[in-house]
Amino acid sequence: MLYNRTGKSGLLLPAISLGLWHNFGADGDMANQRAICRKAFDLGITHFDLANNYGPPPGSAEHAFGEILHKDFAAHRDELIISTKAGYHMWDGPYGEWGSRKYMIASLNQSLKRLGLDYVDIYYSHRFDPNTPLEETMGALDFAVRSGKALYAGISNYPAQATRKAAVILKKLGTPCLIHQPRFNMLQQEPLKEGVFKSASESGMGVICFSPLAQGMLTNRYLNGIPEGSRATVGHFLKKDQITEPLVKKVKALNALAEARGQTMAQMAIAWVLSHKPVTSALIGASRPAQIEDAVGALRNAKLGKAELAVITKILAG
């Protein structure tokens, strides 16, 4: 594993981190969940990413990971970076979503109980709340850190301008914003185009990119149809109708380039994400341990030359 410095902080994160958004719900198979996490840790993935609402039902991924921590990683807490978030709908009534101090702190307390932890390493505001003063949401992150319930503060899905403002507020409070977590992959390049990378890196933050494989679209998963059990057949966030003919055509062309580089499509997609300067870590998901092995293999050949990057851009442009 390669470990990268997170922005201007002292924290090193693995170039590949594992997220538990999918496959860790109450309906999941605990033996498989444990095997995925153990494989990740054995390969040097020290960072596990959660949120209050991961499941289904919401909260169950934190529950599952709490159990795994207890069974498999009890002796390794100080070798792990565990994050959670609050921002999306978690419970009914006026205090169960967005960015109020009430929600942010109540949710963190709930997450710690589910995880069976005294503190998380990174606590995120999961999304920008246009109706709550940013000072209040950032104040809640600062409080989480000062009270010892989190070691670092982060933001996710924040647009460029709010990113800069959040950084200024947190700096004044004495809790610098560690990291931004946007979605970024070959098919979804908004953070690069809309200035989020620039705002984050100029503010001293690291960047961890979620869905680097576009939920599996940038792998060999859908090259020959839509297999039963794949995310497009079971997930609510990736629909079968997103696997279009033009998309598959592009991914086949990208896959040919990956093969010429001696790697899999998933490995080249991860290498592409990591080739963008402010990126600290690519935050993958996995439904089985073999996918983790595949992802980590990306680091054997993570450098993309200018000519290869140009070919990728051309293929993506169609």
Segment near ligand NDP (CB under 6 A), from 14-22, 105-113, 115-123, 273-281? Answer: 14-22
Cβ proximity to ligand NDP, 165 vs 221, nearer residue: 221
Strands (E), 160-236: 177-181, 206-210
Does 105 sit near ligand NDP (CB under 6 A)?
no
Among 153, 200, 291, 304, binds ligand NDP (CB under 6 A): 291
Other C-beta atoms closer than 10 Å to the C-beta of 233 total: 12
Question: Whole-angstrom Cα distance, residue 19 to residue 26?
Answer: 16
Question: Whole-angstrom Cα distance, residue 284 to residue 291?
Answer: 10
Does 15 sit near ligand NDP (CB under 6 A)?
no
Residues in the chain: 318
Cβ proximity to ligand NDP, 100 vs 219, nearer residue: 219
Among 138, 221, 254, 268, binds ligand NDP (CB under 6 A): 221
Distances (CA, A) of 298 to 15, 37, 40, 128, 272: 10, 18, 14, 32, 10
Question: Whole-angstrom Cα distance, residue 43 to residue 299?
Answer: 11
Segment near ligand NDP (CB under 6 A), from 8-16, 193-201, 241-249, 291-299? Answer: 291-299
DSSP character at residue 183: B
Would you give the binding string for ligand NDP spanning residues 171-210, x where CB under 6 A is met?
----------x----------------------------x
CB 207 within 8 A of CB 201: yes
The two beta strands, 120-125 and 177-181, are unpaired
Q: Residue 302: helix, strand or coil by DSSP?
A: coil
Strands (E), the chain: 3-5, 12-14, 16-19, 47-49, 81-86, 120-125, 150-156, 177-181, 206-210, 279-284
Among 132, 287, 311, 316, binds ligand NDP (CB under 6 A): 287
Among 219, 263, 280, 281, binds ligand NDP (CB under 6 A): 219
Does 157 sit near ligand NDP (CB under 6 A)?
yes
Cβ proximity to ligand NDP, 129 vs 294, nearer residue: 294
Region 19-78 residues binding ligand NDP, contact defined as CB under 6 A = 19-22, 49
Cβ proximity to ligand NDP, 195 vs 297, nearer residue: 297
Segment near ligand NDP (CB under 6 A), from 17-25, 106-114, 165-173, 197-205? Answer: 17-25
CB 213 within 8 A of CB 185: yes
* Chain contacts with ligand NDP (rule: CB under 6 A): 19-22, 49, 126, 156-157, 181, 210-216, 219-221, 230-231, 266, 283-287, 291, 294-295
